[in-house]
Amino acid sequence: MQTLDKKSTKKAWASAISQPATEFPLTPLPILSGKIPEGLRGTLYRNGPARLERGNMHMGHWFDGDGAILAVNFNDVGATGVYRYVQTAGYQEETAKDRLLYGNYGMNAPGPIWNQWRKGVKNVANTSVLALPDKLLALWEGGHPHALDLETLETQGLDNLGGLNQGLFYSAHPKVDYQTKEIFNFGITPGLNGTLNIYKSDSTGKVIQKTKFKLSGVPLIHDFVLAGQYLIFFAPALRVDVLPVILGTSTYSDSFKWQPELGTQILVFDRENLSLVSRGETEPWYQWHFANGYVDASGSVIVDFTRYADFQTNQYLKEIATGETHTPAKNTFTRVVLQPKTGKVTAIETLLDRTGEFPNVPPQTVGQVSRHAYMALFRQGTDISQEILNTIARFDHNTETLTEANLGENRYPSEPLPVQDANNPNQSWVLTVVYDGNSDRSEVWVFDSDRLDAEPVCQLGLPSVIPHSFHGTWKGRV
């Protein structure tokens, strides 16, 4: 395994985040190999933390980094790219002062303790994106989304989507129904007991319906499930100790306590009127992300997700920001069978005993049966305590087989995104942004979804390194 230099013990992936990312304007992208498929027309958007230090001060957690958006447009003559930081108010203020001023998930505001109360938490807009007809939303679950221009990525400011009052947050994991174009999302308002706010929006993103539900304590709910007529939330056995956060003596990250005796709490809502259908409880686990959910022929809800035994994953993610990890955070790709009318879990099954993340399904099958699930994984034999995800794969539920890409040593992909071919509904492509630690470059790789273990059909070069990102989306050409 290549290291950064002879003296360093850091792995190749660390170079991608060793310094703040460099923006680039709208730029034609060179084709390094293959060609762009004729049916691949539209724009890939990705979001992630691109700056983890300022003024020789380092942020406390990978989640604290300032968000930057990559847009790659595939058109009839080639491909173009643009990469820009989201110009949040906090980012602009810290840029002007050339030092960190705000606290966040894994850090308190620098300076005396009253800075934490005075400055609060910075909206870093770094987690995901939602492409609407007339704007792109940069999402971060602790505040309102930022609206950006779809082509230039110019930041237009905070957006309340016509219905998010002060204190109503908008999660980084909205679910879009491909058939109805309805958008569902949620946000957690903290307090001594958190409030779960649920939103339904039309295809423009405008909030047309919302409800709220009082939680027990403040759990960390990062994602949820759209399954047919249901919206399902799994609150893990994790609660924040609110008082130290309020006093500014501890961060959110360090104040979460794993409490397995609480089990996993399940809340099932009706997607039409957002009313509570049932509540249930099952064994404790932690999850960041769900691949998908659907209602089967018997009326049971099937949910697939990446399951952790506890919250050790948070320490691993904290260490990523330092460029050197030591904490293993193993998980499994797991299926839960749930009776929605009662909230009772009737089966739990391990689908794949491999550690991975960012599971997803083709957009047209969200909330419906999907034969395939896509994810990023660790290659077999990888030391998961020291590396980050280094391959992508497709799991076939019909055959229970896994097809992996072979990216080679020291190459690190982003979340794989399946994209349906515009000319052939039976053909799809898989897009990922790869950081090549051998050459210290970032590239866009396009795979045939049915031949993920073959060479990519196209590779594009990017003008600067794109730090490891969280989530992205695809917006097809209209």
CB 281 within 8 A of CB 266: yes
Cα 470 from Cα 468, distance rounded (Å): 7
Task: Quote the pLDDT of residue 247.
Answer: 80
User: What tens digit of pLDDT does each residue of 335-345 get?
Assistant: 999 999 999 99
On the question of pLDDT at 59 being above 60, the answer is yes
CB 296 within 8 A of CB 365: no
For the beta carbon of residue 477, count every other beta carbon within 10 angstroms. 12
Q: Under DSSP, is residue 18 helix (H, G, I), strand (E, B) or coil?
A: coil
Cα 197 from Cα 189, distance rounded (Å): 7
Residue 119: band (very low, low, confident or very high) from pLDDT cuts 50, 70, 90: confident
Cα 434 from Cα 468, distance rounded (Å): 9
Q: Under DSSP, is residue 21 helix (H, G, I), strand (E, B) or coil?
A: coil
Q: Rounded to two decimals, what is the model's pTM?
A: 0.96
Residue 5: band (very low, low, confident or very high) from pLDDT cuts 50, 70, 90: very low
Task: Quote the pLDDT of residue 8.
Answer: 57
Burial of 144 (0-12, 13-18, 19+ CB in 10 A): buried
Cα 87 from Cα 288, distance rounded (Å): 27
Please state, in angstroms and as integers, the Cα–Cα distance from residue 357 to each residue in 91, 270, 303, 463, following that order. 28, 28, 15, 27
Where in 76-152 does DSSP place strands (E)? 78-85, 128-131, 136-139, 146-148
Burial of 328 (0-12, 13-18, 19+ CB in 10 A): middle
Residue 105: band (very low, low, confident or very high) from pLDDT cuts 50, 70, 90: very high
With a CB cutoff of 8 Å and minimum separation 6, the contacts of 426 are: none
Burial of 99 (0-12, 13-18, 19+ CB in 10 A): middle
CB 283 within 8 A of CB 263: yes
Cα 387 from Cα 412, distance rounded (Å): 10
Structure tokens at 199: 């939103």
Residue 209: strand pairing partners: 200
Structure tokens at 433: 């942004």
Report which of 198, 192, 254, 202 is spatially closest to residue 230, judged by C-alpha positions: 198
For the beta carbon of residue 157, count every other beta carbon within 10 angstroms. 11
Cα 418 from Cα 425, distance rounded (Å): 12
Where in 76-113 does DSSP place strands (E)? 78-85
User: What tens digit of pLDDT does each residue of 259-304 get?
Assistant: 999 999 999 999 999 999 999 999 999 999 999 999 999 999 999 9
Q: Side chain identity at 32, as an amino acid letter?
A: L
Residue 187: band (very low, low, confident or very high) from pLDDT cuts 50, 70, 90: very high
What average pLDDT does this structure show over 306-311? 98
All structural domains of the chain: 12-476 (2.130.10)
Task: Quote the pLDDT of residue 243.
Answer: 84
Task: Quote the pLDDT of residue 166.
Answer: 87
User: What tens digit of pLDDT does each residue of 412-431 get?
Assistant: 999 999 999 999 999 999 99
Structure tokens at 334: 């797991």
Q: Under DSSP, is residue 366 helix (H, G, I), strand (E, B) or coil?
A: coil
Residue 249: band (very low, low, confident or very high) from pLDDT cuts 50, 70, 90: confident
Q: Sheet with 391-396: list strands edge to edge.
A: 356-360, 372-377, 391-396, 401-404
* CB crowding 8-18: b at 16 or more within 10 Å, else e: eebbbbbbbbb
Task: Quote the pLDDT of residue 2.
Answer: 34
For the beta carbon of residue 329, count every other beta carbon within 10 angstroms. 21
